[in-house]
Amino acid sequence: MKRIIYTFIILLAGLSVSAQTPDQIFKAAGSPPNPKVQVSWNRYYTSEGLWAIAKKLSEAHPNLVKVETIGKTYEGRDMIALTITDFSKGNVDRKPGMYVDGNIHSNEIQGGEFAMYTAWYLAESWYYNDFIKDLLADKVFYIVPTINPDARNDYMKGVNTANTPRSGMMPIDDDRDGLVDEDGYDDLNGDGEVTMMRRKNPNGRYIVDPTDPRQMIEVEAGEPGEYEMLGYEGKDNDGDGEVNEDRVGGYYDPNRDWGWNWQPEYIQRGAHKYPFSVPENRNVMEFVMKHPNIGGAQSFHNSGGMILRGPGAEEDRGTYNATDDKVYDAIGELGESIMPGYTYMVVWKDLYTAFGGELDWFHGCRGIFTFTNELYHPYFMFGKDYKGGRRGDEVQKDMYKFEKNLLMTDAFLDWKEFDHPELGKIEIGGFRKNFGRDNPGFLLENDAHRNMAFLIFHAYHTPKLVIEKVEEKDLGGGLKQVTATIANKRLIPTHSSHDTKNKIIRPDYISLEGANVVAGMIVTDVDMNKTSEQKVAPAKIAVENIPGMEAVTVRWIVSGSGKYTVKVDSEKGGVVTK
C-alpha cells in the first residue's frame, strides 16, 4: 500500500512541474495559457530563486531572453540583468530601451517578483499576443530583478522585522560606540520570527482590545492602562543598557547614494561615504551608462500605493519644466487609472525631501523619464481609501480583520509568556515580518500584473520614429531640393527638456546618404517656408530633439541624380531609413 501511495505522489510531483497539454487548457484573457516556464506568482523567491527563474526563461526563450552579470555585490554575489526583446528584429543596442529594477531596499522584496513577472509575462506572451510581439520587435527591456540581493536574502532568512534590514550588508556602527552589529534583533523564543514584546504594567498606556485579544489599544490620557509596549524582540547583547540600537547591516540607504544632488550624512540621513559608494548602485550606473538607448525607467519599492516621480528636493524643480511635466502627467495619470489604490505624486511636494535618489539620477544625469512605484496599499484589503482622520488606527484594525478572515490567521503569532534576562516576565507576539509591507500571496500576482501593465504603457511610449514622407523639387541647373518629415509617434521625446538644456545625450542625426549634398537645413516653419541652415557637414543634420507626438522637417539641396537614402539615427529613438 505504501509503495502505491509513493508512486502516486511521484506522479503528482511530475504533473506539477510539467506544462499541461493544449487540450487541457482554456485560456484566461490577458495571460499566457501554457507557459514554457511554470512560475507560481503567489510566493516570494530568494535571490537564487530569482536567478533560477531568469536562467529558465533564457533557456526556454533564447530568441527573447538573455541573462548577463553586471557586477558583484558587497558579499560577492553576481548581480544579473535580463535583456528582453525579439533578437531576430533589428539591432538590439539601437532599439528604444526601458530599464526596470526592484528591491533596492532589502525589505521591500516584492519589487523582485514584479520585475521578474514582467520578464516572464513578456517572454511567455510573445507567442500568443500580437501587441507583445510588436512591442518586442520595436523595444528592448533591461530588467534587474533585485539591486540588493545580499540583503534580500538576509531579510528573508535572517532575524528581522518587516522594516529591517532596509540597507545592504555593509557594516555600519549605528550608535557610534565603536562596535558593529553587536546588538541587533533577537529571536528570543526561537519561533523563527521577530515580533513585539509587551509587559504588564498598571501605568502602561495600552490595554487589550476587548473585541480582539491579539490587538493592543492605546488608552486616552488619564485612563488606566494594563500593558507597556517594549518594542521588537531583543536583549542587551553588548552590556550598554540599550536594546536593538544596532541593526544588522547598520543603516545606510542605497536610495540616497546616487550621484545627483547627493548630500552627506549630516544633511541626508542614510547617505553613505560618497555617491555610488554602494557597489550595487555603481553596477547599475555603469550598466545604464553603457545603454544610452534607455528612454524610460521604473523602480519597484514598497509600500503605500504611490506612483512617484521627481524631483526629490525642491531645489531641483528647475530640472523639470512644463514640457517634461506633461509627459510625466500623461503616463502617471494613466497609472492611477489602471492601478486602483495608487496615487501619482511628486516626491518633494507630496512626501518629503530626498537627496541622492535613484529616480533623480536617472532624470537629472541621463534625461530618462523615470518613476518609482511604492507597491502595495491597505486599499487592497477591503477596497477602502482610508482618507482623513485617524487613518492609522482604522488600517490597524482592518489588518487584524483581514489577517483573520482572509489569511486564516496565518500572519499573526499569539502572545506567549517569556522570561527575559533583563526585562523579567514579558509576553511576545504580533504580526510576522511578511505581513504589512509585503503583498499577501493571493494579492501578489494581481498587483504585479497591474504594475507590469503600467510599465509596458510607459515602455510603449518611448520614442517611435517614422519617416513620414520624402518630397523632391527640381530647382533647375542640376539642383534638386529634398525635404524629409520625421514624426515621433509616441509621448516621450527623443530628449527631455532637461537633457536638451544640458546636452546630456548627443543630438539626433538625420542624414541624406548617397547624394551630393550642397546644403542642409532644418525647416523651422513649414507653412512660412522658414529654414535654419547647418553650414558644416550639411549631409548630416543635427536635431536637438524630436518631440513626442510631433514631427520635424529637414531639407537638403543636392546636385546630380541617383538613388539616395534618408537615415534617422537617434540614441533613444533608434535608427530608421527610407
d(CA 240, CA 159): 21
Residue carrying C-alpha cell 504594567: 201
Contacts of 427 (CB under 8 A, 6+ apart): 197, 198, 199, 415, 416, 417, 418
d(CA 576, CA 227): 71
d(CA 101, CA 284): 9
- What is the per-residue burial (b if ≥16 Cβ within 10 Å, else e) of 499-530? bbeeebbebbbbbbeebbbebbbbbeeeeeee
* Active-site entry in 113, 358, 374, 571: 374
298 in helix, strand or coil?
strand
Q: Which helix (H) or strand (E) holds 449?
A: helix 441-460
d(CA 489, CA 96): 13
CB of 226 within 8 A of CB of 204?
A: yes
In single-letter form, the type of residue at position 240 comes to D
- What is the per-residue burial (b if ≥16 Cβ within 10 Å, else e) of 453-477? bbbbbbbbbbbbbebeeeeeeeeee
262 in helix, strand or coil?
coil
d(CA 182, CA 206): 31
Which set of grid coordinates corresponds to residue 113? Answer: 517578483
CB of 299 within 8 A of CB of 358?
A: yes
Give φ, ψ of 346 to 5 degrees. -105, 130
Q: Does 374 participate in catalysis according to the annotation? A: yes
Which set of grid coordinates corresponds to residue 478? Answer: 542640376
- The separation between the first and the last C-alpha atoms of the chain, rounded to the nearest angstrom, is 73
Write out the catalytic residue numbers: 374
